[in-house]
Chains A and B, each alone.
Chain A
Amino acid sequence: MNFKRHGLIAGIALTATLALAACGSDNNEPTTSASGGASGGTGSDVACASGTLTSQGSSAQGNAMAEWAKAYQQKCSGAQVNYQATASGAGITAFQGGTADFAGSDSSLKAGDEQTKAAARCGGAPALNLPMVTGPIAIAYNLDGVKDLQLKPETIAKIFAGTVKTWDDAAIKADNPSATLPSTAILAVHRGDSSGTTENFTNYLTQTAPSVWTFGKDKVWKAPGGSGEQKSDGVAGAIKKTAGAIGYVEWSFAKTNALATAKVGNGAGEFTALTGEAAGKTIAGAKVTGTGDDLAMTIDYSTKEAGAYPIVLVTYEIVCSKGNAADKLALLKGFLGFTSSKDGQAQLDKLGYAPLPETVRAKVEASVKNLA
């Protein structure tokens, strides 16, 4: 009968699906060979250790971590570093629960519950925020025939708040006196999921255009209108395929999608193009607000430094100052020592991140040495 025959086919299909699913699920278990102790560097100044590090968190630093893990594992044969780019919140939760050896986060641990739980996980010692991956946030746009778009903070705020609706609006014209702007409608693209990129970007708008941007800073997008996209690749993809779109996205994603990026007005009153160097100037002006080995930072978005690109993102590694598992400590210090080394930071430039300024980098390196 018809039904039986279908049942047979469906049965075969089911079996095939199960078999395929079984094949797909067994490749994410790392081979563990945990044993502590530094086993001597093979690279120039990389401290090698064998074992497995498990970590997760911010997707903004996912590309950087993947690159570092690959480079470190090449130099140190017995080491295995896993970084899952889930989300900052998930990373912190995993770190507090003890399932991650360190967490990547777009914001430092908040005083109160977050810090207390992290300290409890570290056997009472405080958890440290170590700035490790910094990167500019690009204002990427898709507008035929308009190169070198220039935008002041107030204009950016107006666009994303939905008060400027077309590209030939007077506010945009005032910033770009020489450009011929079409009357295309603006599609302002923002992150639909919660993200540290949104938090940094809205923080920037809050500080530089307080009269226009009244929505405050938050991980979730609070302004009305626009269109939400999932993750950075969603934002970049939406800008790429929609004429008239503009959005904020980590520079690395703007680069890989070959998107045009706007020049942004800074506190010195000039429009600055996005380069690693220009972003580094803003980060160099950031103040360290953490105490001791903790290096939580505050960024001055309205920096008056000439040539500084003001919209930057600082992401942290969150790690126990003391109380790290004995069999992980050597590898943890080795890996984070590598990522905070000059050599490690230099590898990020091609990925669209900016290296840490030397003053900050030296402090991070010193903090990593003090881990216990």
Chain B
Amino acid sequence: MLFRGTATAAGSMVLVIIAAIAIFLLVKAIPAINKDTENFLTYKDWFTDGDQPKFGVAATAFGTVLTAVIALLLAVPVALGIALCLSHYAHRRVATTLSFIIDLLAAVPSVVFGLWGRDYFYEPIANFSKWLHDVAGWIPIFGSNGPYGKSVLLGSVVLGIMILPIVTSLSREVFLQTPPENQEAALALGSTKWEMIRTAVIPYGRAGIIASVMLGLGRALGETIALALTLGSVFAVNFDLLGPGGVTIASNIASRFGEANEFGRSALIASGLVLFAITLVVNMAARAIVYRRREFVGGSA
């Protein structure tokens, strides 16, 4: 009885906290949005000072989603490859050491990633951007002819490295849980190791993979200081990956909060509300996908 009460209290606490956050954001945000002289959802820039405050989340929300999606596209294939290697290919002792090292990567503070990206990784990416433009400049997203500085590409690659450990260690755990019977059955039917992985391991772990990707996406959407340091903070809505540019909701909050007056802070909190909503939608989508796949994998997810 006591245990049940405690568990219920803990469970409802989550709801209370979420509701409290939502109410706090709404209370702070609504007055600021009301004073906005431009459309909060479609205006690109962020000028909150002065008598005629003009601000909107078009560029920041777009940048948030864009960097997160590119980071996922870059990180997920690598992460799944590492996870499969660790669970099915590498020698057990090597796998244990390697997975420990990958978990360590998750413990590196994001500001370190940001400074590393800004000061050291910047130059290889600038050279790579130049090469990419020379080779594939006819594709609009690589169309920028320089100067190559802090771009969406740099921010996304750093972000991709940051979400690598989460996706890797979660999907590794999922792959390890594949019932040996399924794997042995596949092998017994004459499949090669890769066919066994394709027919037994990956379908079994699909829901888990999606869940791990969604967790990675959650981290990517909320990442703050690493992107504030590696993006060019240019408020524009376009798919130019190489030129100076990129801004996200969280990086904008990080760089503007210190000098903002009270109204400016409310406006930034309003943008936080948008991020909250985006994250909520993403999480619900993930839940829906996992739920839909549940029967397929036998209810173990």
Contacts and interface: CB of A to CB of B under 8 A. Distances in A.
Interface of A: 2-3, 5-6, 9-10, 13, 17, 86-90, 113-114, 184-187, 189, 192-195, 218-220, 222, 224-230, 234, 237-238, 241-242, 244-245
Interface in B205-241: 228-229, 231-234, 236
A90 B258 contact: yes
Given A86-B258, A195-B259, A241-B122, A230 B145 contact: no
Interface of B: 45-47, 49-50, 96, 99-100, 103-104, 107, 118-119, 122-123, 126, 145-147, 149-150, 173, 176, 228-229, 231-234, 236, 244-245, 247, 255-256, 258-262
A220 B234 CA distance: 12
Contact of A5 (B96, B103, B107): B96
Contact of A238 (B45, B149, B176, B262): B149
27 contacts: A6-B99, A6-B103, A86-B258, A89-B258, A89-B260, A90-B258, A186-B147, A192-B228, A192-B232, A193-B255, A193-B256, A194-B256, A194-B259, A219-B259, A220-B46, A225-B244, A226-B232, A227-B149, A228-B231, A228-B232, A228-B233, A228-B247, A230-B228, A230-B229, A237-B119, A241-B119, A241-B122
Contact of B49 (A192, A219, A226, A245): A219
B234 A227 contact: yes
B118 A237 contact: yes
Contacts of B232: 192, 226-228
A-B residue pairs, 9 tightest by C-beta: A228-B233, A194-B259, A192-B233, A227-B244, A87-B258, A187-B147, A193-B255, A89-B259, A227-B232
Contacts of A86: 258
Nearest to A9: B100
A184 B231 CA distance: 22
Nearest to A229: B150
B140 to A, nearest CB: 18
- Judged by DSSP, the binding face of A is mixed
Contacts of A193: 255-256, 258-259
A244 B244 CA distance: 13
Contacts of A114: 261
Nearest to B173: A3
A360 B33 CA distance: 43
A230 B255 contact: yes
Nearest to B169: A6
Contacts of B146: 185
B150 A227 contact: yes
Given A186-B147, A220-B47, A241-B119, 18 more contacts: A6-B103, A10-B103, A13-B104, A13-B107, A90-B258, A90-B259, A114-B261, A185-B145, A185-B146, A187-B147, A187-B244, A192-B255, A219-B259, A227-B245, A228-B150, A228-B233, A228-B255, A229-B150
Given A187-B147, A187-B149, A234-B229, A89 B261 contact: yes
Residue from A227, A241, A245 with most neighbouring chain B CB atoms (10 Å): A227
A2 B177 CA distance: 11
B256 A220 contact: yes
Contacts of A113: 262
Given A2-B96, A226-B234, A194 B260 contact: yes
A185 B50 CA distance: 34
Nearest to A187: B147
B3 to A, nearest CB: 23
Given A192-B255, A194-B255, A238-B149, A222 B233 contact: no
A229 B117 CA distance: 13
Contacts of B244: 187, 225-227
Nearest to B151: A227
Contacts of A194: 255-256, 258-260
A246 B88 CA distance: 52
Residue from B100, B147, B149 with most neighbouring chain A CB atoms (10 Å): B147
Contacts of A228: 150, 231-234, 247, 255
A242 B119 CA distance: 11
Contacts of A234: 118, 229
A251 B46 CA distance: 28
Contacts of A219: 49, 259
A9 B146 CA distance: 47
Contacts of A89: 258-261
A219 B232 CA distance: 17
B147 to A, nearest CB: 4
A6 B258 contact: no
B300 to A, nearest CB: 16
